[in-house]
Amino acid sequence: MTDSRKNLKTSSPSAALPVFSHRSADVFKQLIKQILLFIFALVMLYPILWMIASSLRGQNEIFKNMGLLVTHPIWSNYVKGWNALSYPFSRYFINSFIIVIFAIIGNTITCSLTAYAFARLDFSFRNLMFGFMLLMLMVPIHVIVIPQYIIWNSLGMINTIVPLVLPKFLAMDGFFVFLFYQFIRGIPRDLDEAAKLDGAGHLRIFFQVLLPLMKPAIGTTAVFTFMWTWNDFFSQLIYLTKPQYYTVPIALRTFIDAQSQSSYGPMFAMSVLSIVPLFLVFCFGQRYLVEGIATTGGK
């Protein structure tokens, strides 16, 4: 009942003259809304929860049991899955993490520097370059992927992390340049001017005045870079072809293609593990996620 009392407080402010019957109708409506929303949320999350439950089930049970309750968890699925491919999954996790870490470092440093120039500096061809960057955000990557692949191939860089990581150190993720750009534009110019009067150059202004204020944007960049690099299937698929360099998504894909009928449990187990890092980022970085999509996806 406490629930409905809480709802009373939040009932529509438009009811300038609250009549009792009106209010209790409101409470009832709120309750129905809550129940329906909760059921809907459950339906939305059901497949994920079912996958987790299935990762602990035996082969015969997986497709018969729609429930989420696991009575006899088969933890050996995880051990089997971990060692199912030519290398243990630890190798693929390490490979993925290395790429993700470099990507985060590259993106935060170079995208913020580029954004500073676009937001605060007055230089030749600024609009042209800014326009090109925005345009590249909207052009399908496939027009550059093929020549890029040919270039990296001729340089002998296939099966290294260079093609995956170097672009991040050259600020090629325009999305984050734009994110930092928006953020810097929101910081009052007075701060720069004051620092300039104190004799600070642009580098000092960037590192000592703006960078400390940019923590939220850095957080958002780190979180999104993590997410997108972790899930990046296409480029890892074309650049990493030897099993010892496989990342988690590529390994997982090999798993499905190679699986026999008896390995659904272990396959689900590895699928679950592969999204654990994402889930952790989701839990701890949620503030940055929400802020990030609100500032770049919004107006």
Partner 1 sequence: MSYAAEFASLVKDREKEKRKHPDNKAACAFMAPWVIGAVLLSLIPMVASVVLSFTKYNMLTSPKFVGLQNFATLFKDIRFQHSLRVTFTYVIVSVPLQLLAALALAVILDRGMKGLTFYRSAFYLPSMLGGSVAIAVLWKMVFGSEGLFNNFLSMFGLHVTQSWIGNPTTANWTLVALHVWQFGSAMVIFLAGLRQIPRELYEAASVDGAGKWRQFRSITMPMLSPIVFFNLVMSIINSFQTFTQAFVVSGGTGGPSDSTLFYTLYLYQQGFGQLKMGYASAMAWILVLIVAVFTLINFALSKYWVYYDD
Footprint of partner 1 on 235-294 (CB under 8 A): 237-238, 248-249, 252-253, 256-257, 264, 267-268, 271-272, 274-275, 278-279, 282, 286, 289-290, 293-294
In the numeric block, which tokens belong to residue 291? 């802020």
Q: Looking at residue 262, what DSSP letter applies?
A: T
**Least Cβ distance, residue 51 to partner 1 (angstroms):** 5
178 vs 183, beta carbon nearer partner 1: 178
Residue numbers 61-90 binding partner 1 by CB under 8 A? 62-64, 66
25 vs 137, beta carbon nearer partner 1: 137
How far is the C-alpha of 286 from the C-alpha of 270, rounded, in Å? 24
**Count of residues in contact with partner 1, rule CB under 8 A:** 101
**Least Cβ distance, residue 189 to partner 1 (angstroms):** 14
Q: Which of 21, 127, 260, 261 binds partner 1 (CB under 8 A)?
A: 127
How far is the C-alpha of 230 from the C-alpha of 251, rounded, in Å? 13
Q: Which candidate, 153, 161, 137, 148, places its Cα nearest to that of 297? A: 137
The yes or no reply on residue 107 touching partner 1 (CB under 8 A) is no
Site string for partner 1, 133-162 (x = CB under 8 A): xxxxxxxxxxxxxxxxxxx-x---------
Give 70-79 contacts, CB < 8 A, sequence gap 24+: 74/265, 77/265, 77/266, 77/268, 77/269, 78/266, 78/269, 78/273
103: CB partners within 8 A, 6+ apart? 164, 165, 168, 225, 229
Q: Please identify, among the stretches 17-25, 89-97, 189-197, 224-232, the one whose residues bind partner 1 according to the rule CB under 8 A.
A: 224-232
Q: Please identify, among the stretches 27-35, 78-86, 190-198, 212-220, the one whose residues bind partner 1 according to the rule CB under 8 A.
A: 27-35
The yes or no reply on residue 172 touching partner 1 (CB under 8 A) is yes
**Least Cβ distance, residue 188 to partner 1 (angstroms):** 18
The yes or no reply on residue 49 touching partner 1 (CB under 8 A) is no
Amino acid at the residue 9:
K
Q: What is the DSSP string of 138-159?
A: HS-THHHHHHHHHHHHHTT-TT
Angle at which helices 20-54 and 2-10 cross, to 10°: 120
183 vs 268, beta carbon nearer partner 1: 268
